[in-house]
Amino acid sequence: MSNDETVLKQKMKEINGYEEALGLIQWDLRTKIPTEGAAYRSDVVGLLSEKIYSLKTSDELKEVIDNVQISTEDPILKQSAKELDREYLKYTKIPSEDYKAFVTLQSQSESIWQQAKETSDFSLLKPYLEDLIAYNRKFARIWGYDNHPYDALLNQYEPGLTTEILDPIFDRLKQALKDLLKRTQKSEVEVDTEMLLHHFPKEDQRAFGELVLEKMGYNFNAGRLDETIHPFAIGINPKDVRVTTRFVENDFRVGLFGTIHEGGHALYEQNFDEDLYETVLKSGASMGVHESQSLFWENMIGRSHAFWESHFDQFRKVAPAAFQTIEFDAFYKAINEVKSSYIRIEADELTYCLHIILRYELEKDLINHDLEVKDLPEAWNEKMHTLLGITPSNDAEGVLQDIHWAAGEFGYFPTYALGYMYAAQLHVAMQRDLDVESIVRMGDFEPIKAWLTEHVHRHGKMKEPLKLIEEISNETFNPDYLINYLTSKYTHLYDC
């Protein structure tokens, strides 16, 4: 091993150490921290982030990166150097004082967002959001773009993605989903969800959620399940990958499907090849690919008929008495009800992407100066009415429902819909190798987890997202698979 390769490994180990410490703080901020400790902890986030920034932008690291990319024959080190070079170019264009101020603002804003959401008071978040958007506009100018400033932000989460690519895909998807939604709304099939809205103690919900996570293959010896206001999964390192969820005692669906969703993310983080552990490649290929894993498990497995054939009796063992008389077919229809709703993370499969398209269109307008923050709540409500036919009664169930904007994450939301489209394409590819429905009906998910680990998880960031999807499915990215999946499922359920 050359001296440059040795130095690169040492630098990655140092970077990973600081990022692990930062990850623990971020988990704590979102789950356990006392309210009065948040402001002080935000300063620590800023200090750690500044240290990581200085490590990733040092002249010494840049020299090593350049040398390794040219000289090494180790594919992992070559890809690591490539990834570090991408981050170097990203960060060196941003003045260090701007970067530190931005990450400190992110932590402060997340804390304020929790207060704003709890009180449904957008005015609390407004000044923070204005500053965060100003930084994102500035970063977009610094990073550069060809056609639209939003492209510079998209590229941070999904390399190679542009509004020119995404706009026609989302326009087509939007029209297909709106048409399918209208068909279900005109259907004479009645779906009763009241049967699901019984008191279900948190501890019993948690027991079933943990059972499902274990059957998915989630390793509790390398993770844990906690509660939070907005569910997330976080990989501190591949042997410490944490899942969070939010339990609602009069609607078990929120906690259960949130747990399965975040469990899909966690399986990805727990199953990288060990050769990637001490590199910068122990991460998902992209946010879109990461979302494909969570949405695959949540919807294509967790909401499937086959899943509930194998788990309905286990569910009723921990469920309260009110659930014991519910018939299977009525239960299955109820958990797959199509209904325009306010909250994205509680949306049904069919309308979910409409929630994402709403955010995408608003983000583009915000970054392009076509919309200002003060007008955001009204613009949100108008788009909600246009896309879903409903209008939020307050900002907590409207513009304040997600943490992403308060975290300064613009360009992130489209990856949810992209991930759903990836998931549908991967699902079809998996069905060529496995009898997925029979496997799920038997209640043993190990072959599915093994397939995903082999084709997706273990590679981490070794492959570019679109190339990964193409290699697995033997064709280029094709959004028709999601439209076909949803059309088939819901025309059958609603006889429309």
Q: Which residues are catalytic?
A: 262
DSSP H helix total and E strand total for the chain: 20, 3
> 26-52 burial, b if ≥16 CB within 10 A, otherwise e?
bbebbeeeeeeebeebbeebbebbbbb
265 is in an annotated binding site: yes
| Helix axes of 349-367 and 149-157: crossing angle, nearest 10 degrees | 130
The rounded distance, in Å, linking the Cα atoms of 312 and 307 is 8
The rounded distance, in Å, linking the Cα atoms of 99 and 105 is 10
For residue 236, report the phi and psi dihedrals to the nearest 5 degrees: -65, -45
409 is in an annotated binding site: no
Going by C-alpha positions, the residue among 460, 85, 403, 110 that lies closest to residue 277 is 460
Distances (CA, A) of 329 to 137, 188, 190, 208, 333: 50, 16, 12, 20, 6
Residue 368's identity, in one-letter code, is: N
What are the residues whose beta carbons fall under 8 Å from the beta carbon of 117, sequence distance 6 or more?
229, 396, 400, 401
What would the DSSP string read from start to end of 334-389? HHT-----S-GGG--HHHHHHHHHHHHHHHHHHHTTSS-GGGHHHHHHHHHHHHHS
Contact 173, 479 (CB under 8 A): yes
If 0-12 CB within 10 Å is exposed, 13-18 middle and 19+ buried, where does residue 159 land?
A: middle
Going by C-alpha positions, the residue among 383, 416, 470, 467 that lies closest to residue 159 is 467
CA-based torsion, 424, 340, 250, 115: positive or negative: positive
Tell me which DSSP letter residue 300 carries.
Answer: I
The tokens of 66 are what? Answer: 């350049």
The rounded distance, in Å, linking the Cα atoms of 160 and 146 is 12
Category of 189 on φ-ψ map: left (φ > 0), alpha (ψ -120 to 50) or beta: beta
The rounded distance, in Å, linking the Cα atoms of 177 and 189 is 19
The rounded distance, in Å, linking the Cα atoms of 389 and 398 is 14
β-pairing verdict for 223-227 and 240-245: parallel
385 is in an annotated binding site: no
β-pairing verdict for 233-237 and 223-227: unpaired
β-pairing verdict for 240-245 and 233-237: antiparallel
Binding residues for Zn(2+), by number, are 261, 265, 291
Binding residues, by number, are 261, 265, 291
